[in-house]
Amino acid sequence: MSRVVTRPSVGASMLGGSITVPPQPCAHGPARSVSPWAGEDGTAGTVAVVGAGKMGLPLAAQFATHGWHVIAVDVNPAVVDAVNAGQSHVGEEPGLAEMVARVHGEGRLRATLDAAAAARDADVVVLIVPVMLDANHQPDYRYMDPAVDSIAPGVHAGSTVIFETTLPIGDTRKRFTPRLERVSGLVAGRDFHVAFSPERLFSGAVLANLAAYPKLVGGTTPASTARAAAFYASVLDAEVVAMSSSEAAEFSKLADTTYRDVNIGLANEFARVADLHGIDVTEVIAAANSQPYSHIHQPGIGVGGHCIPVYPHLLLARAPGLRIVEAARQVNDDQTDRALGIVATALGGLRGQPVLVLGITYREGVKELAYSRAIPLISDLLAAGADVAAYDPLLTPAEVEALGARSWAWGQAGTFRAVITQTADRQFGGLDPAWFPSLAVVYDGRNSLRTLALPEGVAYVGVGVQAGTRVRAGA
């Protein structure tokens, strides 16, 4: 069984560069089903997972494999129907479809639209519903507030409610606990438990991450911390870290993701220095990261996804005026403008110029558009008068056209004067410049085409990588 500790026993290897945490083997024996569940070692109860999306469904399946009866709750009838048929609607998660089919067939996973009934039947409720940003970069609770309100009538004496959605500091205690108390008529910390435990997962590797990354848990009371930690110790093979409070656990996730955003912002500024001096920034970063205390990330055309571009703003929402955090966000968002400026200069302007954008999802291999930098990139190109086409191997022509760009088919000849890569999909390495006889410039937004052979007269521009340095260091 997972150990519960107060400080992580694993972390940065200090070997420089990328850090890999190995998965832990499962040491759980068969669990004894009990009702109600009170946190006793070797027992399992019923857990409701509210939000059966790309992170919620893997969590539900993981919990079920460790003997818990799981109720997946979602507002989308198609998701509920799929789960109740033993099918995964999440297509890019290795091993998930097989796991969902197995635990459903064993009678430990079902789904419902009725959140209150699920909470009433459950010993533990885990919420993993998105909190995004509004137009002013403030927390947008349009999904989370209704989710909390939907379970509140079912919260009962002995319930444990755990938030896995990344939240601004203090929201577990000050925003959501009072909502639960008001509807249920119960007192948190006396009648039921409330805790925060941040999701720390990477799309495409969720099941492996669950077995590797320490699980951080902080309750609104010591008893709530202990109960939530006991739950995770029963369903996860990784170490469980019982933190001092829900606020400390909330801050830990914001610190993690904000660090990455600031690090990428610094890498993007290093790329600008490299361009000024004709140096390959990727060579510099690899060399710097050979020193044990350096962990510089990679520069690029911008930062997308649900996490890194969002969570610094959640931190700023409760601590405004953090200058480094604000500056890094601005640097990273400005990368698309910088790319457009370089392409415009190479073409003598953008008006009327045919431009091809490769990669529309926020990163390669994940069909997700949240905060993808391709969206403002395409929008700004159109606003500048460019004739924009786009391609992504994960999107249909209709999905591409919904963003305002023409859909391009891989290998189709075209009159494009510029190609801009927004993701580093491996397919793009097979790009043949002969398809585009009028091509003048390739802007390599992820430094992934550095070895691509280009005809004489076609300019290459990377992010901190120049035409004269790209092949030697990348070969």
Cβ proximity of 471 and 451 under 8 Å? yes
- The boundaries of every CATH 3.40.50.720 domain in the chain are 4-19+32-244, 264-475
Q: What pLDDT, in 10s, does the model give residues 231-286?
A: 999 999 999 999 999 999 999 999 999 999 999 999 999 999 999 999 999 999 99
Q: The whole model's pTM is what?
A: 0.93
Q: What ranges in 278-322 are assigned the alpha helix state H?
A: 281-288, 311-318
What value does the mean pLDDT take over residues 82-106?
A: 95
* Averaged pLDDT, 318-328: 97
Confidence of residue 6 (pLDDT cuts 50, 70, 90): confident
26 is a catalytic site residue: no
Per-residue pLDDT of 45-59, as tens digits, reads 999 999 999 999 999
- Number of other residues whose CB lies within 10 A of the CB of residue 85: 11
pLDDT attached to residue 9? 74
- pLDDT value at position 474? 42
Q: Does domain 264-475 have CATH number 3.40.50.720?
A: yes
The whole-number pLDDT of residue 72 equals 98
Identify residue 111 by its one-letter amino acid code: A
DSSP state of 67: T
pLDDT surpassing 70 at residue 473: no
CA angle 441, 442, 448 (to 5 degrees): 165
Task: Tell me the pLDDT of the chain averaged across its residues.
Answer: 95
The class level of CATH for 4-19+32-244 reads: alpha beta
376-418: pLDDT as tens digits: 999 999 999 999 999 999 999 999 999 999 999 999 999 999 9
Cα 68 to Cα 148, 236, 254, 280, 292, distances in angstroms = 22, 12, 30, 52, 42
Cβ neighbourhood burial of 278 (10 Å; 0-12, 13-18, 19+): exposed
Predicted confidence at residue 332, as pLDDT, reads 98
Q: Quick one: which of 213, 244, 252, 250 has its CA closest to 2?
A: 213
Report the pLDDT averaged over residues 324-352.
Answer: 98
pLDDT for 338 equals 97
Q: Residue 203: its pLDDT value, please?
A: 85
The answer to whether 367 and 89 have CB atoms below 8 angstroms apart is no
What letter represents residue 169's amino acid? I
β-strand pairing of 215-219 with 193-196: antiparallel
pLDDT over 70 for what percent of the chain?
97
- CB-CB contact of 173 with 205 (8 Å): no
**Which one from 281, 307, 344, 388 is the annotated catalytic residue?**
307
Indicate the helix (H) or strand (E) that contains 395: none
pLDDT in tens, 210-234: 999 999 999 999 999 999 999 999 9
